[in-house]
Amino acid sequence: MGRLNLLLVWSLSLTLFLNYLHPTSAQLSPNHYANICPNLESIVRQAVTNKSQQTFVTVPATLRLFFHDCFVQGCDASVLIASTGNNQAEKDHQDNLSLAGDGFDTVIKAKAAVDAVPQCRNKVSCADILALATRDVIALSSGPSYTVELGRFDGLVSRATDVNGRLPQPTNNLNQLNSLFAANGLTQTDMIALSGAHTLGFSHCSKFASRIYSTPVDPTLNKQYVAQLQQMCPRNVDPRIAINMDPTTPRKFDNVYYQNLQQGKGLFTSDQILFTDPRSRNTVNSFASSTNVFNSNFVAAMTKLGRVGVKTARNGKIRTDCSVL
């Protein structure tokens, strides 16, 4: 019996030691920086607030940046890395060229504000700053606030080729969307909730032109909405022109996105399919009818998204410059 107890103690000690050397995503904790940088959240929030007062684009740009980061190699701030002569980074992949610069600038400004505090300098990861900034822009646009789990390290690689096939496309159907999200441990309900981020932001006309100029026009689109889109996006429109994803409340984080889908006003095929496909319609109706139901599901999905591919001290680092590996 004594020998058995000794073996159990030795086994437990070895497990704890290995976990210390190779921590898992379970390392994430809301209190990770409590003793390292105790005012972190208020510092980031103030920087994000200042930035958003300069331009509203800060809000959708930061939210989209977080999503694009987490879906490629996990939430490790690899999307922030600048390309070099011998490496094309994630941000320069075709699917990321439309990421607005204000999202990147938000993280840069928040990082500078954090590093201006001697106790915090170079001790907070860019990945965690992006996660906090994302929560803050949602709250600033009347969306739900929530607790952010912290303790991510920044990734050690950023390759454009890693983006291939990882991000949803405007033309995706429900099966394709579910497959992309399932690859990141997210359910169909999570996918529909996260799609609600399209209540903010904008899109260039080229992303949906085929829906409004096909023969016949996409029958799932509201006819009056088609006329509005054709007016805002004529056939040879300036490629820099962009329009709101949510034609009703474009600057407010709310559940109107789902009410728009019920009316045939989903801008992308991948938006409208959530209502036209019977497998997802009930969830859309549920979110459309209750702000609280949508908010709670969105927060749950964002929390799960924030755990995707988390890096540790073993396979990550804390960058002194978010754009340089």
Residues annotated within the binding site for heme b are: 198
Amino acid, res. 154: D
**Alpha-carbon span 325 to 319, nearest angstrom:** 7
| Angle, CA of 39, 41 and 42, to the nearest 5° | 70
Q: Is 68 assigned a catalytic role?
A: yes
Asked if residue 197 lies in contact with residue 64, where contact means CB atoms within 8 angstroms, the answer is yes
**Catalytic residue from among 32, 68, 93, 204:** 68
Q: Are 320 and 283 in contact (CB under 8 A)?
A: no
Beta strands in the chain (DSSP E): 202-204, 242-244
Instruction: Name the phi and psi angles at 231, rounded to 5.
Output: -70, -40
- Identify the burial level of 300 via C-beta atoms within 10 angstroms of its C-beta, where 0-12 means exposed, 13-18 middle and 19 or more buried: middle
Residues in the chain: 325
β-partners of residue 203 are 243
Q: What separation in angstroms does the CA of 143 have from each of 133, 252, 255, 263, 291? A: 13, 7, 10, 22, 10
- Closest alpha carbon to 207 in 268, 272, 275: 268
- Binding site listing for Ca(2+): 69, 72, 74, 76, 78, 90, 199, 246, 249, 254
Instruction: Classify burial at 27, counting beta carbons within 10 Å of its beta carbon; exposed 0-12, middle 13-18, buried 19 or more.
Output: middle
Q: Which residues are annotated as a binding site for substrate?
A: 168
Phi, psi of 77 (to 5 degrees): 60, 20
Three-state SS for 279?
helix
Residues designated catalytic: 68
